[in-house]
Amino acid sequence: MSAVESTTATSRLPETISSRLRLPAIAAPMLRVSGVELVKAACQAGVIGAFPTANPRSHEALDDWLTELDETLSENDAPYCANLIMSRPETQKDIEILLRHRTEMVITSVGSPAPVVPALHEAGVFVLADVATMKHVKKAIEAGVDGLVLLTAGAGGNTGWMNPFAFVRAVRAFYDGPIALAGGMSDGVALRAARELGVDLGYIGTKFIATQESLAEPEYKQMLVDSTMDDVLLTQAFTGMNTSFLLPSIEAAGLDPATLDHNADVASAQAQYGGSAYSDKSGPRRWKDIWSAGHSVSGVSDVPATREIIDQTLREFHGDR
C-alpha cells in the first residue's frame, strides 16, 4: 500500500498530496537540523519533509537546496515543504525563490501568515500556519490559510502549552480544514491516536534529529539517546517564547536551569542568545549549542536512517509493534 488513504479515514488534504504519503506525517522543520539530505530521505520514504528557509543560510544556498530537491525527488515521492519564519526580514526574498521552484507546500511560523498568503495562493501553494492559541487559530483562518499546525505541550523548540486532546477538539468544533498536530509524537501508536482525534498529519521532529541524515552534531544526537522527557525544560529565557530545550545542553553551557527564568540570568541569556539563530556573538548560542528536544525524546534509543524510523512508525501505525 503506497497511499495513506488505503487504510485510514478520508483525508482533508488535497489528493495531490495525500496520494503520495505512506504515512500521514511531516518531518518537522527544525533550525540547524533539517537539511536537504534529511528532507530527501523523508520524502522518498513517504513522509512530507520540511525545513526552515533559514537553514541554507543564504538565498543562493536556498536556491541550490531547492534545485537539488526538484532534481532528486520524483512525482511519486512525498512533497517537500518550506517553513517561512515570518519574523525574518529575508522572508519576501525566500518566497520569490520558492515560487520560482514551484514549491507545493509552505508552513508559516512566528508571525501572522496574512502578508504572504495571497502571493502563495496565486501560485497554487498549499499553506499551513503554526498556531498555539485559539486566538491565533482564528486569525490564521481569517488570513485564508489552507490548514493549521497546532503547537501543543511537549513539542520541541518553539512550542505551545495546551493539552493536545483539548486543543484539537476545540478547533474541530468549528473548523473542518486540515490539521497537523505537533507535540510529543514519538511513534505510530501516537500518530494513530491523533488521527482518531481528528488530525490529518502528525508533526514528528525530535526523532528525526537523531538520524543519520540530520545536520545535528554527533554529540547532540547522543544526548537525545541518553535523555528522557525529564531532561526537557520549557523556558522563555533564550527566545522570549515558550521553547523546549535539553537540560544537559544548558548545563554544559554553564547556566543554571533552575534559575534561568527567575533572575539576572534571563537578561544575560536573552542578550547573549538574541537575534539570529546564526548570530556571530561569542559564547554558546541557542540552537547551535543550546539544543532543543520535545517530550518524544523518551522514544529516541538510537541513531538510525530516516527511512528506518518511517518504516517502523508505519508498522506501529497499522498495529504491528
The string of pLDDT tens digits covering residues 182-239 is: 998 889 999 999 999 999 999 999 999 999 999 999 999 999 999 999 999 998 888 8
Least confident of 70-74, 91-95, 112-116, 238-242: 238-242
pLDDT the model gives residue 2: 46
What share of the chain in percent tops pLDDT 70?
A: 89
Least confident range of 8-12, 81-85, 149-153, 165-169: 8-12
Instruction: Please name which of 66, 29, 63 lies closest in space to residue 47, comparing C-alpha atoms.
Output: 29
The fraction of the chain above a pLDDT of 90, given in percent, is: 77
124-150: pLDDT as tens digits? 999 999 999 999 999 999 999 999 999
pLDDT digits (tens, 9 = 90+) for 278-304: 344 555 567 778 899 999 999 999 999
What the chain holds in terms of domains, given with CATH numbers, is 4-214+301-317 (3.20.20.70), 218-295 (no CATH)
